[in-house]
Amino acid sequence: MISHEYWVAYHEKLAALDLDTHLTSFIPQDWALNAVDIASEWVEQQFAAHVAGRPLVPAPPELDPETMLACGQLAFVLAEAYQHPIKLDIDIIRYNQFPPAERILLDHPLVVIDAGCRIILWYLPGALNWSLQRDMFTATVGMGKLLQQSMTTSKISTGKTTKWRTNTSYFHPSKEPSLIPGCINLSPCWFQQGHECQGRPPQNPLDGFIPEVSSTLKGR
């Protein structure tokens, strides 16, 4: 296990955080990212409270009840994982080249850490509550046609090998008739990385916080 001193030092940092501060966002209120920013900050506060053994922080009034429940469950599972580490007695680079024969069964929230105390894996079963899973299922069903079109065979008409992520040989029919196998990249951060300013956005959006489609996506 990780040294006791390591966890004590981190817990002291969490205990020093001002968890009574009301969350505010520098992102304009009419942006969808405003609620996301507030929710993420609250999850961080809840996580800190769980790990440090402090009272939980009241939910921001800007969040609806369903989002509050989802964020609360996420923070709890993150804290459970962080407080149940599994340490590997090998550096992650060497582990990649010479993996041990012994396998570890992961059956509860935890983090896997290498010999340098680097977190290399978060295992978070149950992090997404039922409402998020429901919304994701509904959205996936609605993308059926796009998912079907994303599939490719081993060779295309030009003779070039297709990407393995969309190769039909890696997919099988779903047990749910309404779900169609496929692969679509959803990356909001990648979507904005081409022009978004670094750090926190300024209070005045005209000062530079104007996210835009990245050059890569513009070319598609």
Predicted confidence (pLDDT) per residue in 163-207, tens digit = 777 888 888 888 888 888 888 876 655 555 444 454 555 566 555
Q: What is the pLDDT of residues 67-102, one digit of tens each?
A: 999 999 999 999 999 999 988 887 777 777 777 777
| 49 in a structural domain | yes
The reply to whether 123 and 141 lie within a common domain is no
Tell me if 161 sits within 8 A of 155, measured CB to CB: yes
Question: Does residue 175 lie in a domain region?
Answer: no
Tokens 């994303």, located at residue: 150
Q: Strands, DSSP E only, in 149-204?
A: none
Distance of alpha carbon 107 from alpha carbon 124, whole angstroms: 10
Same structural domain, 51 and 151: no
Strand partners, 152: 167
In a domain, 178, yes or no: no
- For the stretch 20-55, pLDDT in tens is 555 566 777 777 778 888 899 999 999 999 988 888
Do both 147 and 212 map to the same domain? no
Quick one: 71 and 139 in the same domain?
A: no
Indicate if 199 and 159 belong to the same structural domain.
no
* Domain co-membership, 18 together with 77: yes
| Residue 60 sits in the same domain as residue 110 | yes
Q: Which two tokens stand for residue 143?
A: 């993308």
How far is CA 115 from each of CA 11, 32, 94, rounded to the nearest angstrom?
Answer: 20, 41, 11
Q: Is residue 125 part of a domain?
A: yes
Going by C-alpha positions, the residue among 28, 30, 2 that lies closest to residue 120 is: 2
Q: Is residue 180 part of a domain?
A: no
Q: For residue 203, is it within any domain?
A: yes
Domain range for 213 is 188-218
Same domain (yes/no): 54, 158: no
**Judgement on whether residues 124 and 200 belong to the same structural domain of the protein:** no
The answer to whether residues 54 and 138 belong to one domain is: no
Domains of the chain: total: 3
Q: Does a structural domain hold residue 13?
A: yes
Same domain, 88 and 165: no
Query: Which pLDDT value is given to residue 2?
Result: 47
Per DSSP, 16 falls in state T
Q: What is the pTM assigned to this prediction? A: 0.66
One domain, residues 42 and 109: yes
Residue 26, token pair as written in the block: 């520098």
**What b-and-e string marks burial along 79-118, b requiring 16 or more CB atoms within 10 Å of the CB?**
bbbbeebeebebeeeebeeeeeeeeeeeeebbbbbbeeee
- Tell me, what's the pLDDT at 164? 77
179 inside domain? no
